Amino acid sequence: MYNWYSQRCNVDNNTIRDNAPYSNWYGLQYYYATNGTLSGNLLQDNYSYTTASSYYYHRCMDMYYPTNILISRNQLIGNGTAYYSYVYSYYLYYPTNVQFESNLLAKQKIYYYHYGLYAYNYSNGGNNTIDNNTIDFNYSSPYYTPIS
């Protein structure tokens, strides 16, 4: 789901579930948005089974340059890959006056690298907050099952 260059845009209460992408995957992209919300979305069981010969990216919620945005009550559950890849669950890039709160990240199925909450250059300006989020990194549980 793509949302680029929006003013007063609310992307709320959507479900992206049970997809099997081949390689690079972006669940929800929210680029250069101003004065809106990104809340109550569910991304669940989006899992790539590919054994591609090179590394690739699996991004669940990709947020570039958000300004004056409330990001809350989103849930990322059981997404991941079966092969070498970089999984970014919440990717927050150059936020300005952003509230990131009450989000859930749980049971991601990761084979290689996982960035649960990746916030890049968080000192970009404004008053950014990250509060009351739940991130479950219980790697001792059998979340990953090899493909036979």
DSSP states of the chain as a string?
A: -EEES-BS-EEES-EEES---SS-EEEEEEES-EEEEEES-EEE--EE----SS-EEEEEEEEES-EEEEEES-EEES-EESSSEEEEEEEEES-EEEEEES-EEE--B-SSEEEEEEEE-TTSSS--EEES-EE---TTS-------
The pTM for the full model equals: 0.85
pLDDT score, position 56: 78
Task: List the chain pLDDT tens, one digit each, 148 residues.
Answer: 888 888 888 999 999 998 888 778 888 998 999 999 999 999 898 888 776 656 778 889 999 999 999 999 999 998 888 777 888 899 999 999 999 999 999 888 877 788 889 988 766 667 889 999 998 876 544 445 444 4
pLDDT score, position 146: 45
